[in-house]
Amino acid sequence: MGALIFYIAIYFLGYYAAYLLNLLSGRTLIRNRRIAGLGAVFMVSMLHGYKIISSSPPDGHDEGMTYALGLYVILPVAIIVSAVMFLTWQERDDHDRS
């Protein structure tokens, strides 16, 4: 649960950083802020995955590296990507009905 909240915060940081960059520049530099948010999530997830792979597991934990990657990196990123795709699909569907 904590990893999901962490990646949601990273998504919104990327999303609003793209908005702020567009606002400060006075023109549209980044058209799709959702993709910018996903880019931030993917970059942080690669660093997080590397950290999990390169470090040894804590004492007393018998779970393997793949379990940690799946639970703390792949699952939250998959949930965020599916939510962004769903919201994009809903927005596109609403524009088609108008």
What is the span of the domain harbouring residue 51? 2-97
Per-residue pLDDT reduced to its tens digit, 84-93: 999 999 988 7
Encoded tokens for 46:
């690669």
pLDDT: is 37 or 97 the higher one? 37
Please give the pLDDT value at position 91. Answer: 86
Token pair, residue 6, equals 């962490």
Which tokens in the block code for residue 43?
Answer: 């970059």
Read off the pLDDT of each residue in 23-50 and give the average, rounded to a whole number: 95
Please give the mean pLDDT across all residues of the chain: 91
Number of domains into which the chain is organized: 1
> Cα–Cα distance between 7 and 77 in angstroms, integer?
7
What pTM did the predictor assign?
Answer: 0.87
Query: Quick one: how far is CA 60 from the chain centroid?
Result: 30
